[in-house]
């Protein structure tokens, strides 16, 4: 997605060779026009896949999923929680997810009420790095007996291998901007 790549070049900040900071439009302040375009692009790519629900993980995936959902005809968004709030009294599906940026391990949880075997689920997230979050979310879909349509990532860091691992596991991966390397502050796209 050209407009996204241009924005990454303009406003993205490389932190070392592993991390990209896009706080000014995606992860802290949100450019809603760009997010709407991103949502429309996911809807175009996954058109005719019969998506009934969009699944993501808190926090940065939520706005992306919500904008996408509107372009999929207002399908519901379900977001996995990283902690068990006292309000989560019902049964839930859970999967361990290691956070790449925080170095912590948490259990991504969703209430059993919000995914069912009839669902055709699209997973979306801001970044695809090592694939931890996506594999965790895919596990929740599997536990529910639902159908995984694919994974949509706004930015994939190809060199961290998550996309390849998912593809090898027969998961359809569609990333709107694919980064090949980050070196000396330069971002090279695939």
User: What is the number of alpha carbons within 13 Å of residue 54 lying toward its C-beta?
Assistant: 26
| 122 contributes a contact to ligand 5GP by CB under 6 A | no
* DSSP-H helix ranges across 46-185: 61-71, 132-143, 162-168
Tell me the Ramachandran region of residue 66: left when phi exceeds 0, alpha when psi lies from -120 to 50, beta otherwise: alpha
x/- mask, ligand 5GP, residues 7-26, rule CB under 6 A, reads: ------------xxx-----
Q: Does 129 bind ligand 5GP (CB under 6 A)?
A: yes
When binding is defined by CB under 6 A, the residue of 27, 36, 111, 181 that contacts ligand 5GP is 27
Q: How many CB atoms lie within 10 A of CB 178?
A: 17
Closer to ligand 5GP at the Cβ: 23 or 47?
A: 23
Regarding 126 and contact with ligand 5GP (CB under 6 A), the answer is yes
Coil vs helix vs strand at 142: helix
Q: Cα separation of 89 and 16, whole Å?
A: 42
Given 78, 125, 146, 187, the residue binding ligand 5GP (CB under 6 A): 125
Smallest CA-to-CA distance from 26 within 173, 131, 158, 177 is with 177
Residue 62 touches ligand 5GP, criterion: CB under 6 A: no
Pick the closer one to ligand 5GP by CB: 10 or 73. 10
Per CB under 6 A, does 131 bind ligand 5GP? Answer: yes
Q: Rule CB under 6 A: which residues touch ligand 5GP?
A: 19-21, 27, 60, 100-101, 125-134, 162
């Amino acid at each position: 997605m050209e407009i996204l790549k241009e924005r990454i070049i303009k406003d993205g900040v490389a932190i070392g060779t592993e991390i990209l900071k896009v706080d000014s439009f995606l992860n802290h302040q949100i450019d809603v026009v760009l997010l709407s375009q991103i949502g429309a692009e996911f809807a175009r790519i996954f058109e005719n896949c019969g998506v009934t629900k969009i699944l993501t993980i808190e926090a940065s995936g939520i706005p992306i999923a919500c904008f996408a959902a509107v372009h999929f005809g207002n399908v519901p968004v379900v977001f996995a929680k990283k902690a068990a709030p006292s309000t989560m009294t019902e049964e839930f599906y859970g999967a361990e997810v290691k956070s790449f940026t925080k170095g912590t391990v948490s259990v991504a949880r969703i209430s059993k009420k919000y995914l069912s075997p009839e669902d055709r689920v699209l997973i979306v997230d801001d970044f695809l790095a090592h694939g931890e979050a996506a594999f965790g979310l895919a596990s929740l879909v599997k536990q529910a007996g639902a159908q995984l349509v694919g994974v949509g990532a706004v930015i994939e860091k190809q060199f961290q291998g998550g996309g390849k691992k998912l593809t090898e596991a027969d998961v359809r991966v569609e990333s709107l901007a694919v980064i090949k390397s980050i070196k000396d502050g330069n971002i090279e796209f695939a």
